[in-house]
Amino acid sequence: MTDVKKAVALSFDGNSAPTITATGKDLVAEEIISLAKEAGVYIHQDEHLSHFLQLLELRDEVPEELYTLIAELIAFVYMLDGKFPEQWNNLHHKIIDKA
């Protein structure tokens, strides 16, 4: 028995909750992943999160219970892109000053 490939794409505008923008299995999942790679979108592989998000409908907002997890993923991607909050430098200075 082969594993079924699944993919879910999220969109986040920075204001409202992330929403489901694409979902699919097998060939559709491969196409979603391929398009994401071509666009330079980071891909997070988590079978359990994907399974849960597959239960949602297109354009559904991510449920509140997942906000922290999704926020951590978005923050991680921002850091990979070299984007940090304005307060980041102030935080570093406070830590260094206390040392």
Q: pTM to 2 decimals?
A: 0.73
Measured CA to CA, the distance from residue 42 to residue 44 in angstroms comes to 7
Q: In one letter, which amino acid is 28? A: V
The average pLDDT across 51-55 equals: 93
- 50-75 residues labelled b (16+ CB within 10 A) or e (exposed): bebbeebeeeeebeeebeeebeebee
The architecture CATH gives domain 6-98: 3-Layer(aba) Sandwich (3.40)
Query: What is the model's pLDDT at position 74?
Result: 84
- 64: Cα separation from own chain's centroid: 15
The average pLDDT across 65-89 equals: 81
| Predicted confidence (pLDDT) at residue 10 exceeds the cutoff of 80 | yes
| Predicted confidence (pLDDT) at residue 4 exceeds the cutoff of 70 | yes
| Predicted confidence (pLDDT) at residue 30 exceeds the cutoff of 90 | yes
